[in-house]
Structure 1
Amino acid sequence: MAVEMNVVGVNRMIQFCKKIKNLEVLLHVSTAYCNCNVKYIDEKVYEPPLAPHKLLDACEWMDGDVLNTLTPKMIGNRPNTYTYTKAIAEYLLYQNKEELPVVIFRPSIVGASWNEPVPGWVDNYNGPTGLLAAIGNGLLRVMKGDFYGTSDIIPVDIASNMMIAVAWDNVVYKSDELKVYHCTTGQMNKFTWGQMERMSHECFMKNPVNTVARIPNPRFTKSYVWHEVCVLFDHVLPAYLMDMMMWVSGKRPIFVKIQDKLRKAVGSLDYFTQNEWVFSNKNLDDLLNKMTPEDRKTFNFNVKSIHWPTYMESYCLGIKRFVLREELSELSKARQTLKRLQRINFAVNVFLFIAVWRLLINRVAVARTLWNFLLGWAIRIFKRMPKVAKSS
């Protein structure tokens, strides 16, 4: 399927464009992660491990089960078939650069809009949107990832503006070379997964979603053991408990299924949240320098001017408005629901603390000795309080 979408489709477009007279530019949208098997990624086309025509031939005669078996061996140290086939598609275009005016555009992780059509506009769950929606609902609370690692998010309107400018650049300033443009933020305006963790928590606590099931509390960790422990106690067990409550109240249990789907979806992003890359941005800088001040304002793709706290607040509100289809007029009701969840959470934590402490006192001699010691000190302090009050 990935070959059909990302390689066969591109090959058909190449054959179609060869028939177009006076074609000025063929702009191909790739991904900054198509060469994620290397850490420093330059603005050039890398040779793939397998020639495009060999992959296309194999997919024509190989059985689907055979292809599935060979896939892990074929993609090698790339994380998935998407990045692998995107790299092959780029090389296919490179092989046809003498006949076609090709230019390649590589955005990183595309997120909600920065300014256009409105701040925070988004219409799908792709990329970080799905993560943030699950964080807002309180269903996603722990993820594998480097707290200090770069979260290379690019607003969709910045990517769109740069695509227009790239096409213009390659028509006005023609080049014999196939040019590649990175549309990324990591080296120009760094934003980390830790910042996303904190900012998303602040935003959803300030402007909660109507469907909040648990208090938003996202955490990134690189520790496999700690991640699995947190998933068990903060994802799986609460999901079973909530489903039991749904079953008792006569409603259809859904939370265990949601957690299963969520874990698979988040798992596909683990590779990108635990690693980071350095992307060259020379062609982006050169393009900005070629544009007039008026054009730079109209087609703004200067990522240095993004203010991440403002962007994240708009992003979270955009998820609420445009993805979850919730009215902002219902915010007060959502805030009341969140406060009620906070009170319930506090009560449950107090109950669990008392229950565990009582169990320790009854079963563990050290805990009982410590309790008697603390209680004795508290009684002495309480008895001395009247004397201290009189002396003062």
Structure 2
Amino acid sequence: MAGATESIKEKTLMSIPEFFRGKNIFVTGVTGFMGKVLLEKLLRSCPDIGLCYVLVRPKKGVQPMDRIKHILHCKLFEKVKREQPGVEGKVVPVCGDILEPHFGMSSEDQHRVCEDTSIVFHSAATVKFDEELKLSVQMNVIGVRHLSILCRKMAKLQSLVHVSTAYANCDREHVAEQVYDPPLDPHKLIDAIEWMDTETIGALTTKLIGSRPNTYTYTKAMAEALLVEEAKDLPVAIVRPSIVGASWEEPVPGWVDNLNGPTGLLVAIGKGLLRSMLGNFHATADLIPVDIATNAMIAAAWYTGVEKPSTTLVYNCTTGQMNRFTWGQMERLSHKFFIKNPCNTVARVPNPRFTLSSIKKAFSVTLDHLLPAYLMDAYLRLVGRRPMFVRIQDRIWKAVATLEFFTTRQWNFRNDNIFMLLSKLSTEDKKTFPFDPRIIDWPNYMENYCLGAKKFVLKEEMSELPAARVALQRLQRMQTLLKVVGVVLAWRLLVKRVPVFSSLWNLLLGWVQFIFHKLPNLARSS
């Protein structure tokens, strides 16, 4: 009887669009990559949603309203604006900053947001891996404290979704969907950050983060622990995406707007600027498309509000255990699709390689990256132009160094709560808000990702693709010719200096003469 009752209850759960109907939401981090995709999806797939309050801080003299207008003007929002004219009116910018108490909102904005809001999505954070610990703690940890204080004032609050990262616990090989005990009491860390100067904190950073590779993963783990403690009586869900990449399908396949993470790698590969880095060819590259991750966030908010779980549920939004993709596949597919659809201007023919050998990498960096960069800069100086290739290589290798911890290792992420959440969705909601990683076709995804990097990040027109292909073919022929000339010159140098090679060269010439002069005579005589 109990089983039948539960079955009926599952069948009668309201749909996700019904849950969001008429409800006002509050979103932080809307100017970031995931925040934009989340906002667009909510507006388009929950057309009866109420107001969307979005926290935006003034930036370089640009007011929040102008920043939001700029965001809504990008290609990402073209579809929803076409389907729902005037939808921009639902987006209400709120001036504030997560570094400040109450997010720095005015008393009027704070009152309005707290009175009206039913659902909160907190995705604001610094995602720089090498951020100074003080600022990282202020944004990622103290920001969560400000969030929990603010949410306690929201009488209508039904869901609070906090966006973390699957790598918050990257010091563990196996990561369950739970909040682990932090390496240090978050309150003690906050106290220390508030009185220590930046120089002292910098000196202690390596000791504090321990076996974690950077301040980002460390502070994200701290933020989870603090949130569970300080918001334990609030309706909280934690969503942990892995490596967030371009969109899979919605609203535009391959949409991406920044050079963070894998996008930066792909652009450097496509431009021929990155040809070798440390990485395990056979290890899992736990890439998650941004629209898959945001759909999971929306579903988590729905489930938290409808089912009201008694504990804070954590969702590992990852692909490795459900639809495995490896760094080797990324290497091969990025090469394939950047040869098929090359960038407009490339320094070298795209040819990425992952290796676990530090010696091989160092050799490749010297001969395949730095030496060509110095030669190209020398050429630019000769023609009176400003050198740039060595500077570009320095920037690339600093960025690559922050990623090599993840490209040389792999993790086992449990996905029990993700499977549970999938089982709760209706057939229609599964179609509208798909977040099952098993639907991803990786070759198709990577082709769209490479094209997306060209179109949306590098701002290259697809009409220029035929000319780019011709230019790449010319570069390939030139590279082949240079290799042949190099081999011949190296061989001739060896022939002159090493007797053994000289003997081999004479033997080879003797065989060639025999083939071209003797064999025809033998054939005629026979």
SS in 2 for 1:268: helix
- How far the C-alpha of 1:22 sits from its partner, in A, is 2.7
Q: Which residue of 2 aligns with 1:319?
A: 453
Q: Which residue of 1 aligns with 2:434?
A: 300
**Among 13, 17, 27, the residue aligned to 2:147:** 13
- How far the C-alpha of 1:15 sits from its partner, in A, is 0.7
Q: Which residue of 2 aligns with 1:85?
A: 219
Within 5 A, what are the aligned runs for 1:365-380? 365-380=499-514
1:185 and 1:297 mapped to 2: Cα distance?
A: 19
Within 5 A, what are the aligned runs for 1:61-72? 61-72=195-206
For the aligned residue pairs, the C-alpha RMSD in angstroms reads 1.1
Q: Which residue of 2 aligns with 1:171?
A: 305
2:501 and 2:479 mapped to 1: Cα distance?
A: 26
Query: Aligned pair 1:337/2:471, yes or no?
Result: yes
Within 5 A, what are the aligned runs for 1:1-392? 1-387=135-521, 389-390=523-524
> 2:285 is matched by which residue type in structure 1?
S
1:371 and 1:378 mapped to 2: Cα distance?
A: 11
Is the Cα contact below 8 Å between 1:97 and 1:178 reproduced in 2? no
- How far the C-alpha of 1:377 sits from its partner, in A, is 2.0
SS in 2 for 1:148: coil
- How far the C-alpha of 1:379 sits from its partner, in A, is 2.0
SS in 1 for 2:167: coil
Is the Cα contact below 8 Å between 2:338 and 2:350 reproduced in 1? yes
SS in 2 for 1:46: coil
- How far the C-alpha of 1:97 sits from its partner, in A, is 4.0
Gaps of 5+ in 2: 1-134
* TM superposition score normalised by structure 1: 0.98
CA displacement 1:303-351 (0-9 Å, x = unmatched)? 1111101100000000000000000000011111111111211221122
1:59 and 1:143 mapped to 2: Cα distance?
A: 35
Which structure has the higher relative contact order (CA within 8 Å, separation 6+)? 1
> 2:420 is matched by which residue type in structure 1?
D
> 1:126 is matched by which residue type in structure 2?
N
1:175 and 1:284 mapped to 2: Cα distance?
A: 14
- How far the C-alpha of 1:365 sits from its partner, in A, is 1.1
Is the Cα contact below 8 Å between 2:244 and 2:289 reproduced in 1? yes
Instruction: Give the number of aligned pairs.
Output: 392
2:500 and 2:239 mapped to 1: Cα distance?
A: 64
Gaps of 5+ in 1: none
SS in 1 for 2:168: coil
CA displacement 1:206-233 (0-9 Å, x = unmatched)? 0000121110010000000010000000
Identity %: 58
> 2:230 is matched by which residue type in structure 1?
N
SS in 1 for 2:166: coil
Is the Cα contact below 8 Å between 2:148 and 2:231 reproduced in 1? no
SS in 2 for 1:373: helix
1:384 and 1:188 mapped to 2: Cα distance?
A: 65
- How far the C-alpha of 1:162 sits from its partner, in A, is 0.9
Is the Cα contact below 8 Å between 1:18 and 1:99 reproduced in 2? no
> 2:171 is matched by which residue type in structure 1?
N
Is the Cα contact below 8 Å between 1:43 and 1:280 reproduced in 2? yes
Which consecutive segments of 4 or more residues in structure 1 shift more than 4 A? 387-392
- How far the C-alpha of 1:391 sits from its partner, in A, is 7.7
Is the Cα contact below 8 Å between 1:104 and 1:179 reproduced in 2? yes
1:390 and 1:191 mapped to 2: Cα distance?
A: 61
Is the Cα contact below 8 Å between 2:232 and 2:312 reproduced in 1? no
Is the Cα contact below 8 Å between 2:145 and 2:230 reproduced in 1? no
